[in-house]
Structure 1
Amino acid sequence: MKAIELLFTSDVGLMSLTVLAITLGMGGFYLRYFLKHVKDDTAAQARR
């Protein structure tokens, strides 16, 4: 319980949460981006 309290109340804990949120957001963005482009390239290749 002390670790969760420290995570949400200290400066270092809040910065850690911010970095985790940004990292997960970037991962989600790149996953969607790459999957969309793979799908588009596969469709373009099939049309040839």
Structure 2
Amino acid sequence: MGYPALRVVRGGGWHSSARFGPAACDRLALPQATANERLGFRLARYLG
């Protein structure tokens, strides 16, 4: 489930800013706090 989100981070885009840098990958590694963030990354992927 985390791979699509990681693909978004690596793909670059508006979320490639410092806010969504390597730290984003660390967040995706966390268990619960990232459930919503993963959805956010997916939405970002579709919304551009």
Structures share a fold, TM > 0.5?
no
Rg larger in structure = 1
TM-score in terms of structure 2 length: 0.36
TM-score in terms of structure 1 length: 0.36
| More helix as a share of residues | 1
